[in-house]
Structure formats: C-alpha cells, structure tokens
Amino acid sequence: MKEILLAVRHSRWLKFMALPLLLIVAYQLWASNAESPFFPTVGVIAGAFLDTWGGAGFVENVVPSLTNLAVGYISGVVLGLAFGVLLAKTSVIRIAVMPIISFLLALPAVALVPLFITVAGIGPAMSQSIIAFAVTLYVLVNTVDGLVNVDSGLVDVNHVFRIRGWRQIFLVLLPSIAPRLLGAGRAALSLSILIMVVSEMVGASSGIGAVTLLSQQSFQYSTMWAGMVMVAILGIGLNALYLMFERPMLRRSGISPLARTMK
C-alpha cells in the first residue's frame, strides 16, 4: 500500500489526471442514474464524438474551422509584429495612435462579430478577419510595450557597435523580448479559439461552433456534447502544442520559462 501511495505521489501523469478522472467517473455515475436527455453517459458522448467529427464530419466541419483559425492567427501574429516594430521605432506616431489602439484593445473582441458579419458577410473571410484583427492588436501592443521598455543595456550595445536595421530588430531587440512575445502569442491563441467558436455560433452554418449550437437547437444533445468536448480538447490541445514549441524557444533564448511575466 505504501509503495502504491508513493508511486502515485511521484507520478506526474497520475497527479495530472487524478481530478479529471474523478470528475468523469462521478459524472458517469450520476448521468447513468439521472437518465436526463441533457446529460448523456460518457459512452454515448464518445460515440457521438466519433460520428460527428470522424470521417466526413472532419472534412466538413473541423478542417474549415482550423483553417480559419490558422489563417487568422498567423496573419495576426505577422501583422502585429510588423506594426509593433514600426510603432516602437517612431515615437511621435506611436503616442498619437496609442489611444485608438488602447480603445480597440479594451473592446471585447467577440463584440466585433455582428459588425464583421454585416460588413464581410457570413463565411470564412469573416472568421479569419476578426481573428486576425484581435491577434494583431494583442501582439502589437505587447511588441510595442516590450520594445519601448527594452533593457537600456541593449540599447547601448546597439549604439556602440552600430548594430542597425534587420540585425538590430531580429538579432537583438525581438529576441530580448521573446519571453513576453511568446506569452502574448499563447494568450492570443486562446483568444483566437474563442473567437472562432463564437463567430461560427453567431454567423456560420458549418464549422465546430455552428454544429455545436445547431445540434443544441435541434435537440441532438449527444452531438451538442460532442461539440463541447471538441471545443475543450481544441483549447487544451492547441495550448499544449504551443507550450511544446515555446519551451525550446525559451531555452534557446537563455531565459527560463519562469521569467515570463503576466501583465
């Protein structure tokens, strides 16, 4: 018994899974007793998950959603970095446009969905452009803030050794704020997933969000659950994927992941 307890204590995986497993078991016990149509059992949900998202459903609904996510997110990161560097380098323009940018940043991105639907119509362009818009803003603000407050020691190095142009940006300045940028990229990814689902729920007929909400409205509760599970898995999975890619980047930049700050 003692050995088992010890093994449990030292297994990260077990520690990690203990609470979720407990919750799933509790849910299963409760759902099989309650027999409520709103709460299907774990087996039923798993079956619906495979039916909804496997095979044709994958191509019809998962692929377009993920494509929108990728296009919006990547273009947002690129634009955010580019404009962020430009704004950080031009102090007068930066100070002039910052109030507008702060306003747009304070505007909850999901509130933009009706506006974008009306202007861009229903379809992938709408999802992609809202995601790109929100990610651009978020990355831009973090880039500008990081670069403006960059360590004065590095500024001196750039001056003394006359490091200019792309070398200054890509070899000195951006790597020095890498921890912050990587943190911002992660938060922006979470935001993108949320916007993707919301925009599909409000203004799309296909995609993960649309299938989930439509099945709820047409009383197919196990499909609805499959959608909810899919959204949760996407959130956790993409975050884990991001962390896998972030960790070696941080290590290479010589900064421990703990040094990242939440702002």
Which residues in the 135-194 window bind another protein by CB under 8 A? 151, 153-154, 156-157, 159-164, 167-168, 171-172, 175-176, 178, 190, 193-194
Question: Does residue 24 belong to the site contacting another protein (CB under 8 A)?
Answer: no
* Closest distance of CB 81 from another protein, Å: 16
User: What's 41-103 look like in SS3?
Assistant: CHHHHHHHHHHHHCCHHHHHHHHHHHHHHHHHHHHHHHHHHHHHHHHHHCHHHHHHHHHHHHH
Instruction: Name the residue nearer to another protein (CB basis): 32 or 158.
Output: 158
Sole window of 44-52, 54-62, 74-82, 107-115 interacting with another protein (rule: CB under 8 A): 107-115
Instruction: Name the residue nearer to another protein (CB basis): 1 or 153.
Output: 153
Contact at 8 Å (CB) between 193 and 128? Answer: no
Distances (CA, A) of 102 to 32, 77, 114, 183, 238: 50, 18, 21, 19, 28
Question: Does residue 252 belong to the site contacting another protein (CB under 8 A)?
Answer: yes
Question: Does residue 247 belong to the site contacting another protein (CB under 8 A)?
Answer: no
Sole window of 24-32, 49-57, 78-86, 228-236 interacting with another protein (rule: CB under 8 A): 228-236
Question: Does residue 255 belong to the site contacting another protein (CB under 8 A)?
Answer: yes
Instruction: Name the residue nearer to another protein (CB basis): 19 or 56.
Output: 19
Instruction: Name the residue nearer to another protein (CB basis): 33 or 261.
Output: 261
Question: Does residue 112 belong to the site contacting another protein (CB under 8 A)?
Answer: yes
220 alpha-carbon distance from chain centroid? 28
Rule CB under 8 A: choose which of 5, 99, 244, 248 binds another protein. 99
Sole window of 45-53, 54-62, 137-145, 254-262 interacting with another protein (rule: CB under 8 A): 254-262
- Give the count of beta carbons closer than 10 Å to the beta carbon of residue 190: 13
| In the block, residue with structure tokens 């297994």 | 11
15 by DSSP, 3-state: which? helix
Question: Does residue 16 belong to the site contacting another protein (CB under 8 A)?
Answer: yes
Rule CB under 8 A: choose which of 60, 114, 245, 247 binds another protein. 114
Helix axis angle for 124-148 and 113-120, nearest 10°, is 130
* Closest distance of CB 175 from another protein, Å: 4
Contact at 8 Å (CB) between 238 and 246? Answer: no
Q: How far apart are CA 39 and CA 45, in angstroms?
A: 9
